[in-house]
Structure formats: structure tokens, C-alpha cells
Amino acid sequence: MHERGIILGIAVIILLYGWFSKLLIRYNITGPMVFTIVGVLFSPLVFGAKEIDTSIEIVQIVSEIALIVVLFSDAAVLNIAQLKKEWRLPVRLLFVALPITIVLAFFAGRVLFPNESILYILLLALILAPTDAALGKAVVSSKIVPQKIRNAINVESGLNDGIVFPILLTLLAVISSGNTTEGNGWLGYIAQQIIIGAVAGGFAGWVGAIISAKSKANDWMESNYLNLIPIALAIFSYYFAEHFGGNGYIAAFFAGLFLGNSNIELKEHIESFAESEGEFLVMVSFLIFGLAFIPQTIEYWNTKAFVYAVLSLSIIRMLPVALAFGKFDLSLKDRLFIGWFGPRGIASILYIIVAVTELGGIKGHEEIFGVASLTITLSIVLHGLSAKPLSYIYKNTPNS
């Protein structure tokens, strides 16, 4: 399909979805579901005339900005005071459940795809490791779910992609070079990315909040710029951290966390931006996924791919979450609920884009990328459909 036709199509679907979005939500039909389907419709699978090149820079830029905005805005609405009381939940998810998940995903890949390269199986495990709270938006925004559970899911999805991303980049460098010895020193690299990213992002958010408050107090700023300051600061924090060797995604999260808890007025504008312009970027990312990645990989959605995808969204995710809390004071329903709501979305899509760009395509390892795209697609549908119903079931189920 011609580029102008795609742009026109995007405009039309935004209009249609905007007009009927509330009605669709009543039937658990979410934005990511709609835009992914529309992407498929515009692709060569249905009405599209030619395949979209997934390695073009604009595809990666759109997905990067969308993830930055999501991380920044999700962190901004978190309550630091509440997190201080409930910090153990997200910490256990990030530093106990996440590593176990990656290990289980790797061994499942070895069993199901014995002829595939070990490095590519690890790549698959890393692509599908980060979660995306946006796919279960009804969960993290629902008052019927306890705040400590919502915060745990939100913080996990905000930080796990930043933690996994340095490992992914290291692995891609090893694969590209063909020299496995180049992975030496990767623990130091990952630690550097996380620490510098957190410090740089927190500093940018803190300073941004102070300057914004002073500017507003002295009447130096036009009020219509209050919606632009947060998004500009989010992008600035990303590149600020990257310049000093930190991870930009972790920086975006911490910038939002500090800004949102330092300036109440800006926090309200961040929420407003996230619900409009930010939502647009996220939806375009899902459209790109349906438009560019599903058509290239759908022929590899075989039985083994489905088995792996189902395992990835269930046992491989839920068992580590259940184990991570040990004797921690969480009921079985809490563990199952948190375990299920580990959807794969924006971060995994970005990881695929980065991998395809760095490796020059999917040729020779189509099955691995096919499994990844299938898992994301199933997650978009299953977590979108189940978010509201399971939230109500969770509320009405007694603790065991």
C-alpha cells in the first residue's frame, strides 16, 4: 500500500476508534488489539501492496519514543511514599522472578527448537522477558485492584525492559561479531547501564521539576507548554543518560518518578498527555507491529511456536512469580494475578526492531522471530480480553 494510503488509514482508524472507544472497551476490545488488526489489514497479508521494511529508521524511532513516553508517564503516576512501604514486591519481581523467567524461557526454547542456535534461543528469551502494563491497562488503572498490586505490576513493567535491554545489546554484539568471548565484562556493563540510567534520569526529573515550578511561580511559562514540558523532559532524560553510558529507558522511568512526585501540577499534565498524545504513539507502535512484523513471520506460526507462546504467557511467567515471593505475605490469588498480568507489548516490539536492525534481518532464524511475534500477538489479545473480567474475579475471590 502506498505511504499516503497508510497515513490516511491511520487517520481514519483513529477517528473510528476514538468515536467508539468507550463502547469497544465495554466488550474488552482494547486499542492495541484494534491497531494490530488494522496493521495486518494494511499489510500484504490483506490489502497491502508491498512489504514494509522493518529495518528502516523511522520504525525504530517511533517505537523508541512510544516506549520512552510510556515508561515516563507510568512512573509519574506512581506514589513514592506508597512504594517505600511496598518496595519488596517489585524488587522480588525484578531480581528474582525475572532471571528465573529468562532461564525457564531459554530451556523451553532448547527443548522445542533443538536445531536452533543457543544464542538465538537466548535472544528469544530476552525479547519476551519484559512486560507491558499498557496491555492490561484496566488492571493498573482499576481501583478494585489493591494499590500495592497495581504498583508492583506498574513498577515491574517500567523497569524490567531497562534491565533486560543492556543484556540484549550485549548478546546482539556477540552474535554480530561471531565471537563469544566478546561477552566478557557484560555484568559490569549492565550494572553501569542501570546505575547511571537511574541516577541520570532521577537527576533530570528532579531538576526539571524545580525549574518548571520556578518558571510557573514567576509566570514565565505559557500554560499551553505545560503539556509539552513532560514529553520533552522524558526524551531529554533518555539521551542524557545514554550520553553518560546509562540506559535511557531506565532514565525515562526515574525521570517520570521524580517529576511526578515533585510537581503535582505537572503530574496532572503528564496524565493528560499520556491519555492523548502518548496513547497515539503507543497505538502507532502496535499498528507497525501488525503492518510489518506479523506478515514476515506468520508462516512460521506452527505447533511448536504455539506451544512455546502459551508456555511463555503462562507457566514460564507465572511459576517464577509464585516462587519469587517465597513465604512472603501474599495469597495464592495475588501471585496468580500478578503472574498472569505479565503481558508482552511495546518493549518486546522494540527489542525485535533492534534485533532485526542489528542483525540485518530475520533470514536463517525466521522460526525464532515467528515465535516472538506470535507470543506478542496472543498477549495483545488474551491480556486485553481478560484485564477487566479477571480484575472483577480477583476482587470477589477470597484470599486463600
Going by the DSSP 8-state scheme, the letter that residue 399 receives in this structure is: P
- What is the structure's pLDDT at 232? 87
* pLDDT (tens digit per residue) in 118-136: 999 999 999 999 998 777 7
**70 or 51, greater pLDDT:** 70
Share of the chain above pLDDT 70, in %: 90
* pLDDT (tens digit per residue) in 185-214: 667 877 888 899 899 999 999 898 888 888
- What is the structure's pLDDT at 5? 65
* pLDDT (tens digit per residue) in 308-331: 999 999 999 999 999 998 877 788
Say if CB 140 and CB 133 are below 8 A apart.
Answer: yes
The answer for residues whose C-beta is within 8 angstroms of residue 319's C-beta and 6 or more apart is: 100, 104, 339
**What is the DSSP annotation of 254-309?**
HHHHHHHTT-HHHHHHHHHHHTTHHHHHHHHHHHHIIIIIHHHHGGG--HHHHHHH
Average pLDDT over residues 143-158: 84
**306 pLDDT higher than 70:** yes
Show the domains of the chain with their CATH numbers: 3-396 (1.20.1530.20)
Listed residue (302, 277, 274, 301) closest to 40, CA to CA: 301
Listed residue (112, 109, 103) closest to 124, CA to CA: 109
- What is the structure's pLDDT at 230? 81
CA distances from 311 to 94, 187, 306, 375, 379 (A): 20, 28, 8, 9, 12
pTM: 0.82
